[in-house]
A and B are shown apart, each in its own frame.
Chain A
């Protein structure tokens, strides 16, 4: 539950002076910045927020916030976050972690958290590699791709986290971009406000190990016409809402629409709210 207690709180109140070992130019800085602005913008005081981190570069984000910050076990971030929310429903609970943490070792927790529509927000920093351990293929890396740490192209298939999130029951699904902080702030706030389980995928270029999907690649600088790959769903009139009283036909149509958007990649990559399902009861 979100309760504004003071209008005075600003992103500055969410800054923490603490040595940071993220690489220069890392997308994590954009996400942290957006997270600080988002919770401050909602008027939340630090003690009303608990941020749970997985293991990996991304999981350390909780050390740079003056909130209740819990660095958990590899792949188990959603279990800790769920427990905290059940123990104290007044808390705004946010889980942060990487693609390897959440979709590799943590895949079982990802799936089963989806079955319980607990009111928490999961922000997955998606850079397709295991950045902390020198750039091995993460579960989100497509088959055949070869970022610079791989001795040969990836021989395994990829998980599409948006499709997986929908399949297992996440009721709010969105995607942001680490270098579009303004848009990301709005997405994080929407995810927090959603009264159920929210999954926010954040495309987060890893400047050190992912030399394929770089900031320039997302910006389309490799293409002849220089057309950016990223676009905003809301600018194309996409309506993600499944109303509380939706009939089966509406739910089926929204699901089809979601699946089509969640599979767009390479040429055009959508950002924004993909799904807001109000038809599922929440904890």
Chain B
């Protein structure tokens, strides 16, 4: 489980300033096609429960889970309801139950090829469960191999886990819809922009303009099918991000074929405010010519 707290780059960059510049990095970092889950929280309450869930998913799917937060979120202080600790479940995933009275010589297959892709896991020190773990490609026993057939089987096994995650993870964990759920005016975003967007939507509603926010929380594997109805009905589709290049918009287009109609970005290290976003959305609602709107802080 990796907590990735994003800030402005390059290298040391702006250590005390925010950015959502690591989305594509989180999804693609590392060589090869290593499966992982990427979750992004929109506020502090979400961040608390998502952190728990990230650990659970890491154990359930036996793979890396990246919990994406950013400087703005990490440095935010606010009053929240007490966390509901009773509601928290700690999952250990599928565990290996050894046959009785063995001494580790029972041929336990730590990486057994299963339909789900998940192999029951023995915990270090458990009688009957000794095995080898390696960063090298490996057989079901954990032996290093470069066998082409085994490689295919293991690649497919790991890919099956991602398909399983997409099937199992409930829709409300994949994304949340705020505002007028039926409104065509659709803001799509992720991470800590949530607060500013909700404020801007409220002001638009006060002006008589119905709009909705689709806050995507599971960024990888990408919930393309679940999002499709919202993409079909979006008019316009506005993507809001705290980065230069619109990484979420790129991801959305790559995974669904749907390009954003408007891209609102900010990349000066400062979080988006409800006020400036409200003004940008008003301009879009009026049908502005610009398709990419940059939010700035000229007074600073």
Contact = CB atoms under 8 A, between A and B. Distances in A.
Contacts of A87: 124
A88 to B, nearest CB: 4
A47 B132 contact: no
Contact of B104 (A18, A45, A71): A45
Interface of A: 18, 45-48, 50, 62-63, 66-73, 84, 87-88, 90-91
A72 B135 contact: yes
Given A46-B130, A47-B130, A63 B144 contact: yes
B124 A63 contact: no
B31 interface: no
A90 B124 CA distance: 10
5 contacts: A46-B104, A50-B124, A50-B125, A68-B124, A69-B131
Chain A to chain B: the 5 pairs with minimum beta-carbon distance, closest first: A71-B134, A69-B132, A46-B104, A88-B125, A70-B133
Contact of A84 (B104, B124, B127): B124
B132 A90 contact: no
A67 B136 CA distance: 18
A66 B128 CA distance: 11
B104 A62 contact: no
B130 A66 contact: yes
A71 B130 contact: no
Contact of A69 (B125, B127, B128, B133): B133
Given A46-B103, A63-B144, A66-B105, A71 B124 contact: no
A44 B125 CA distance: 12
A6 to B, nearest CB: 9
Nearest to A62: B132
Nearest to B102: A47
Interface residues on B, range: 20 to 34
B129 interface: yes
Contacts of B105: 46, 66
B143 interface: yes
Contact of B123 (A62, A66, A72, A88): A88
Contacts of A84: 124
Contacts of B126: 47
Contacts, number: 58
B103 A68 contact: no
A63 B132 contact: yes
Contacts of B104: 45-47, 66-67
B143 A18 contact: yes
Interface in B94-145: 103-105, 123-136, 142-144
Contact of A88 (B124, B129, B135, B144): B124
A50 B123 CA distance: 11
A76 B291 CA distance: 48
Contacts of B124: 50, 68, 84, 87-88, 91
A22 to B, nearest CB: 14
Nearest to B142: A69
A47 B135 contact: no
A66 B102 CA distance: 13
Given A47-B104, A70-B133, 11 more contacts: A18-B143, A45-B103, A47-B103, A47-B125, A47-B128, A47-B129, A50-B124, A68-B124, A72-B135, A73-B135, A91-B124
A12 B130 CA distance: 17
Contacts of B128: 47
Contacts of A72: 135
B59 to A, nearest CB: 13
A45 B105 CA distance: 11
A15 B133 CA distance: 18
A281 B142 CA distance: 37
Nearest to B136: A71
Contacts of A62: 132
Nearest to A52: B133
Contacts of B123: 88
Nearest to A18: B143
B19 to A, nearest CB: 28
